[in-house]
Amino acid sequence: MQRTYHLHNWSIRIGNNMNVKPNLPSFASMFKFHIINDITVAELIDNNFIINEVQDALDLMADLGSRGCNRMIIHERNLNWGFFDLKTRLAGEILQKFSNYNVRLAIIGDFSKYESKNLRDFIRESNRGNMIFFAEDLHTALLRL
């Protein structure tokens, strides 16, 4: 079964006959697409998908990039717990890829529960830039992107 969704002038086909690069899984059904001022923002809505390593993030970016989308929202629940333990270096490695590939990212969650001063400083510094943002809600995330 194939379904086609039309978002403004952009179509997304979900089904068995998707036209995507070989060996690249399609993640389109895991995203909700928001159009803000003619800019497409992909929000990861699959509660079961966890970014456990850098390659998981790269796969998402590649799939969205092949669709012309370079802005993404992910939720705290979609990140491996190690992301928020800066000693693992997972956060730095993943976020560096987003920056290298010029994909703007907002991460939505309640970050006040983390007691690490280093993590709080990391979040604050990220929010001062223009590529990576930590937000409390979807509305704020969309405004920043």
26: confidence class by pLDDT, cuts 50, 70, 90: low
Please name the amino acid found at residue 38: D
**In terms of CATH architecture, what is 28-144?**
2-Layer Sandwich (3.30)
Task: Please state the pTM of the whole predicted model.
Answer: 0.79
**pLDDT for 46 beyond 50:** yes
* Ranges 17-21, 32-36, 111-115, 131-135, most confident: 131-135
Show contacts of 3-10: CB within 8 Å, 24+ apart: 5/33, 7/33, 7/35, 7/40, 8/35, 8/38, 10/35, 10/40, 10/67, 10/68
> Rounded distance, CA 64 to CA 54, Å?
16
User: Using one digit for the tens of pLDDT, what is the confidence trace for 53-73?
Assistant: 999 999 999 989 888 899 999
Q: Which residue has the tokens 């990220």?
A: 126
**pLDDT for 16 beyond 80:** no
User: Using one digit for the tens of pLDDT, what is the confidence trace for 95-144?
Assistant: 999 999 999 999 999 999 999 999 999 999 999 999 999 999 999 999 99
